[in-house]
Amino acid sequence: MVKVLVAGDRFILPEILLEALARHVPDAETTIIKGSWPVTPFADIGEVHEAEGDEDDLIRALEGCEVAFVHASPFTEKVIAAATPTLKLITVGRGGPVNINLDAAKKHGVTVSNAPGRNATATAEHSVAMILASVRQLVDRHNELVAGQWRGDYYAYENVAPEVRGSTVGLIGYGAIGSRVARTLHAMGAHVLAYDPYVAAADMPDAEKLDDLDELLRRSTILTLHPRLNDETRGMIGRDQLALLPEGAIVVNCSRPPVLDYDALADALDSGHLYAAAADVLPSEPLPPDHRLLHTPRLIVTPHLAGASRESAQLAAELGAADIARWLAGEPLKYALT
């Protein structure tokens, strides 16, 4: 019988992890802990990021556990070193497991698996919603109306919004999320341009592949960002890149904050070069009340909830439990990282 630490929170509930584990590993012995994220914000803990919990509490909970089935617990060098050699597998219900020190896991012989694509549908839907809300300026119009303003001049020809149908959308990153966004916008009648050096044109059925980022920017009236964060994509959209967009373009970021220079974005909105923008990921979370992004016109912000859906929590649990069963059976893991 394997002993499993089940560490959930207020999003991926321990009950959801336990239900999936019961389907795939019905005889597992479990220890359960529950964090309070997202009510308690993520934090940097030790050398890991977007984590929640206390290292010493986690070490105590891991006593005797061969497997950790977790979401946001901080698996630092300290935790992993203390939990081995008993701990053999960490299965984390996230696509980007930044709360796991993968180098430390590898050094101590701990296998790590994750749940890529668990929130791809939710994030793609949110991204499309942000594009539509930006084009139609839904937030500003709503706020004006509830404040008692009825602006009939918005129906004047010079003030009406363009349609997504017929627009040219530049999409950066054609992975699980980007490909879904492309499919939706293509179905709406947009012409989608895609930049992703790691995806072949033949695998982009809903987009025209471009190998020149500058060309994509010059042609895009809507730009939506979906790359993974790495050394190549960090800071890839800055002041110079935003200047290449056509006058009146729209920018949406539902990927990672460091992909985009937010000061440059706010400047481009203030100057009128950009028509509108939207972001679900922000340079600090939460933003301080006096942050300029909260006071920049034609900018919609949401509190990093693009991937939040019941289905994404359930899928994360299902993918993780299935990989735990494979590991116990001596089979190759489907989503191994180490």
Catalytically annotated residues: 256, 285, 304
Helices within the chain (DSSP H only) = 14-24, 55-61, 77-83, 102-107, 120-136, 138-146, 176-187, 213-219, 239-244, 262-271, 310-328
As a whole number of angstroms, the distance between CA 75 and CA 31 comes to 17
Which sign, positive or negative, has the C-alpha torsion 5, 12, 281, 211? positive
- 102 touches 112 (CB < 8 A): yes
As a whole number of angstroms, the distance between CA 235 and CA 216 comes to 17
- Look at the block and give the residue holding tokens 């696509």: 95
Give the long-range contacts of residues 331-338, CB within 8 A, separation 24 or more: 333/111, 333/113, 334/113, 335/113, 335/114, 335/115, 335/116, 336/111, 336/112, 336/113, 337/97, 337/100, 337/102, 337/112, 337/113, 337/114, 338/102, 338/105, 338/106, 338/110, 338/111, 338/112
As a whole number of angstroms, the distance between CA 224 and CA 213 comes to 13
- Give the count of alpha carbons within 13 A of 110, CB side only: 29
